[in-house]
Amino acid sequence: MRVAVTGASGLIGRAVVAALAADAAVEEVVALDLSAPAAPLPPGVRHLVRDTRDPRLVHSFDGVDALMHLAFRVLDRREAESVNVDGSRNVFDAAVAAGIGVIVHASSGAVYGGHPDNPVPLKENRPLRPAAFAYPETKVRVERLLEGLSSRGSGTRAVWLRVGTTLGPGAALLFRRSALLRLSDFDPLVQFTWVDDVAAAFVRALHTGDARGAFNIGAPGTLRSSDIASVLGVRDFALPYRLRRALAAGMTFAHVPGALHPGFVDMARYPIVLDAGRAERELGWRARDDSLATLRRFGELIGS
């Protein structure tokens, strides 16, 4: 089996490429990204510098049997429309034209939105109520593209994984790797999943031939937002929601590198905890590390 991975240089993309390279059923991994790999590639991985919006993308899928689509950006609305929506549409059309049999796409738990009436945990049958900014809204729109692909009878099996907050090398959880900025007037339950566990879910979705549609991917257990800094051993800065949101908006407007979009501050007020029961039952997937173990592991990583 030959598997293509878009967004191969991202946090989850790197882990997915490594997991596929270690899979005896995978002959070759075609890793596609706009960025060149920062580290040597494992045996059996071939990297291509590609833009998902390129109409010639279909040629990169010659001989490919399956696609992992992880290319996505958190950008302003105009760029999100181009990269996230139009780029995904081009990728899916190219995959179908190339005869690819399965697409596994990285969606997000953000499609549920952060709302005060969110149940804990959320199941896949909950309504999608994304916050009003580009990242979650375009995640929903790409899911709709995959639903349309399935309904057209293309013969391509489509699976989308609604992934929760993922930690691993390079994860952007902290400010300058040494401080946590959180809300002082909200303290929701939070859930963390280690990146290798997330990658394992993609592999399970690939190999589970009857898997279709949406699957929540999240580790067992929760913590309070106010517990994170102490577990990590970092400084804890708690700001009122309005001040934290204004700070995020100002940094986003000024294009400060690593700035958090204010929409994420809005979502951080309320829990988005994912029920991964369907993934357990149908994919045979369960995270090895629960949320607390994941956070401790991340603390060890940043402290090393």
Model confidence pLDDT, tens digit, residues 139-192: 999 999 999 987 777 789 999 999 999 999 989 898 777 899 999 999 999 999
Q: Locate 214 and state its tokens.
A: 């949406």
Q: What is the pLDDT of residue 142?
A: 97
Query: How far is CA 194 from its chain centroid?
Result: 12
Provide the residue type at 102 as one letter: V
Would you kindly state where each structural domain of the chain is located, as residue ranges? 2-171+191-219+275-288
Q: What is the pLDDT of residue 183?
A: 97
Q: What is the pLDDT of residue 225?
A: 97
Determine if residue 93 is left, alpha or beta; phi over 0 gives left, psi from -120 to 50 gives alpha, anything else beta. alpha
Fold of 2-171+191-219+275-288: Rossmann fold (3.40.50)
Q: What is the pLDDT of residue 79?
A: 79
Residues of the chain with pLDDT under 50: none
Q: What is the pLDDT of residue 76?
A: 67
Q: What is the pTM of this model?
A: 0.96
Q: What is the pLDDT of residue 252?
A: 85
Q: What is the pLDDT of residue 178?
A: 84
